[in-house]
C-alpha cells in the first residue's frame, strides 16, 4: 500500500501519479489534499510519514511545489527516510543505498513524464541489502 500526500503546489502532478498507479494496479491510500485550495504542506507530509512509520503503508509519495518543505516535514518522523528526487538516478540510488521509504517531488520542478519515470524507478528498485548501507541507515537512526 502506497501512502500519498500533497499540498496545492503538488496537487496537479499528484493526479497524474494517481492515474499511473491505477493503470499499473498499485494499491494506494490518498491522505490529500483533495483540491487546489491553499493548504499547509507539513500536515500532509506528516500524515503520510506516520502511515509509513506505523506500517500502515509500505511506501509513500509526497509532492509540494518544490518537494522540499514536505520532505523536511516527513523526515521529522522517526523511521522515515524521505528522499527528494528530480531524476531517475537519484530515485534508484536512494532505494538501493538509503532504503528510502518515501519519495518526494516538486510539482513545480519536474514535468509529468519525468515524474512518472521517477515514480516507476522508486517503486521497482529494491534495497541492495549491502552491509555497509544497512550500517549507515542504522547510524541515521541513532
Which residues ranging from 54 to 93 are in contact with ligand RB5 (CB under 6 A)? 64-66, 68-69
Confirm or reject binding of residue 45 to ligand RB5 (CB under 6 A). Answer: no
Asked about 50 being catalytic, the answer comes back as no
Q: How far is the CB of 5 from ligand RB5 (least distance, A)?
A: 12
Asked about 97 being catalytic, the answer comes back as yes
Q: What is the 3-state secondary structure (H, E, C) of the chain?
A: CEEEEECCCCHHHHHHHHHHHHHCCCCEEECCCCCCCCCCHHHHHHHHHHHHHCCCCCEEEEEECCCHHHHHHHCCCCCCCEEECCCHHHHHHHHHHHCCCEEEEECCCCCHHHHHHHHHHHHHCCCCCCHHHHHHHHHHHC
Q: How far is the CB of 30 from ligand RB5 (least distance, A)?
A: 17
Cα separation of 26 and 42, whole Å?
25
Confirm or reject binding of residue 7 to ligand RB5 (CB under 6 A). Answer: yes
Rg over alpha carbons for the chain, rounded to the nearest Å, is 14
Q: How far is the CB of 71 from ligand RB5 (least distance, A)?
A: 8
Confirm or reject binding of residue 9 to ligand RB5 (CB under 6 A). Answer: yes
* Active-site hit among 85, 97, 133, 138: 97
- Contact residue for ligand RB5 among 31, 41, 44, 122 (CB under 6 A): 41
Confirm or reject binding of residue 103 to ligand RB5 (CB under 6 A). Answer: no
Catalytic residues: 64, 97
List interacting residues with ligand RB5 (CB under 6 A): 7, 9, 41, 64-66, 68-69
Amino acid at each position: 500500500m502506497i501512502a500519498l500526500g500533497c499540498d496545492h503546489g503538488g496537487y496537479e502532478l499528484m493526479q497524474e501519479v494517481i492515474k499511473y498507479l491505477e493503470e499499473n494496479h498499485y494499491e494506494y491510500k490518498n491522505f490529500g489534499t483533495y483540491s487546489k485550495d491553499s493548504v499547509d504542506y507539513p500536515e500532509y507530509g506528516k500524515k503520510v510519514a506516520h502511515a509509513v512509520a506505523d506500517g500502515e503503508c509500505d511506501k509513500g509519495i509526497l509532492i509540494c511545489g518544490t518537494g522540499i518543505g514536505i520532505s523536511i516535514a516527513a523526515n521529522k518522523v522517526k523511521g522515515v527516510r524521505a528522499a527528494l528526487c528530480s531524476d531517475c538516478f537519484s530515485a534508484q540510488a536512494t532505494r538501493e543505498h538509503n532504503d528510502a521509504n518515501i519519495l518526494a517531488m516538486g510539482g513545480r520542478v519536474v514535468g509529468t513524464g519525468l515524474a512518472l519515470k521517477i515514480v516507476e524507478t522508486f517503486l521497482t528498485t529494491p534495497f541492495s541489502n549491502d552491509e555497509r548501507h544497512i550500517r549507515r541507515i542504522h547510524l541515521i537512526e541513532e
